[in-house]
Amino acid sequence: MLLQRTLTAIVLIVVLLAAALSPFNWPLLVFFGFAASACLWEWMRMTLGGGRLGVSAVVALAFLCLTLLVSFQGVGAVENTFPVTARLRGFMALVLLAWVVIGAVSLYNANSAKSPRSLGLSLFGLLSVFAAWLSLVYVYEQAGAIFLVSFLGLVWAADIAAYFGGKTLGRRKLAPSVSPGKTWEGAIAGVMGSVVWIIATQFWQGSFATYLFGQFSWWFVIVLTIALAVLSIMGDLFESLLKRRAGVKDSSGLLPGHGGVFDRLDALLPIAPLAYLLLTRPV
């Protein structure tokens, strides 16, 4: 299982880096489109439930067609696909607020025995995946591959630190009714891992950390990084709750050794809109 998990991770990272370093935008946009569509299918498959699996597939397929249309418009390279508008920033802010409210309320009242079927959560999934996809497209087009990879690295650093911190120091359960394997010690280690990543990459020209330290005071950057890490943990726990309600271990079996695409993107969905808002903040 560990070998399978490692090989899958290596393949995904190689494909991501190859697409990000391409002289054209469309390879990475296609990668984003397939990943987002698979994530949406897995989310709606859990929240629509029962015999409505066909609806999940149709919605995800329509979403994929939209993303591919965006990816291949023009002459192979897309620039400034989504110009910044007040409405678009407002939409991102609403999705971010929804994550804070819906995520917090759902986890506070965590009832894993509750029926997974929810049209509201399905709509929330559609808006969340769309916002994350759009955010990543904008970040890549406007800030470049290094900014994007360093931003994704924040999530990876938190995930790796939380895993090893929980394995070695974990004692107190973080949310036993939702995800019995996660501990407070692991969560704190994840937050610390994010902070270390931001501090360590601030001298990496063009990185997410360089942008933050160039725009804000150091103490605000640290607070912001902690907030991003906490949001990513919330996204992880929220997906765990959906899986428990649906009675599944993984969101799907699309990624050998990792489960589903949603299992890999759950921590990214809540923080992608915030990255967009930070990058498009009025000067």
| Burial environment of residue 178 by CB neighbours within 10 A (0 to 12, 13 to 18, 19 or more) | buried
Sign of CA dihedral 248, 254, 257, 263: negative
Least confident piece of the model among 46-50, 116-120, 216-220: 46-50
Fill in the DSSP letter of residue 255: B
Q: What percent of the chain has pLDDT over 90?
A: 51
Q: How far apart are CA 55 and CA 50, in angstroms?
A: 11
Contact in structure between 46 and 251 (CB atoms under 8 Å): yes
Q: How far apart are CA 192 and CA 147, in angstroms?
A: 21
Least confident piece of the model among 105-114, 168-177, 188-197, 210-219: 105-114
Q: Residue 187: which of 138, 146, 226 has the closest Cα?
A: 226
Q: What is the pLDDT of residue 76?
A: 45
pLDDT, tens digit, for every residue of 21-71?
888 888 888 999 999 999 999 999 999 865 556 888 999 999 999 998 887
Q: Residue 116: which of 251, 262, 232 has the closest Cα?
A: 251
The residue-averaged pLDDT of 148-176 equals: 89
Place of tokens 């394995």: 167
Least confident piece of the model among 133-137, 163-167, 238-242: 163-167
List the structure tokens of 38: 């698979």
**pTM (2 d.p.):** 0.91
Q: How far apart are CA 115 and CA 244, in angstroms?
A: 10
Q: What is the mean pLDDT of the chain?
A: 88
Q: What is the pLDDT of residue 3?
A: 63
CA 115 to chain centre: 25
pLDDT, tens digit, for every residue of 63-108?
999 998 887 764 444 456 667 778 899 999 999 999 999 988 888 8
Alpha helices in 170-265 (DSSP H): 184-200, 208-215, 218-246, 261-265
Which residues, 6+ apart, have CB-to-CB distance to 223 below 8 Å? none
pLDDT, tens digit, for every residue of 122-131?
999 999 999 9
CA 28 to chain centre: 16
CA 239 to chain centre: 11
More confident residue, 212 or 258: 212
Q: What is the pLDDT of residue 81?
A: 66
Half-sphere exposure of 200 (CA within 13 A, CB side): 11
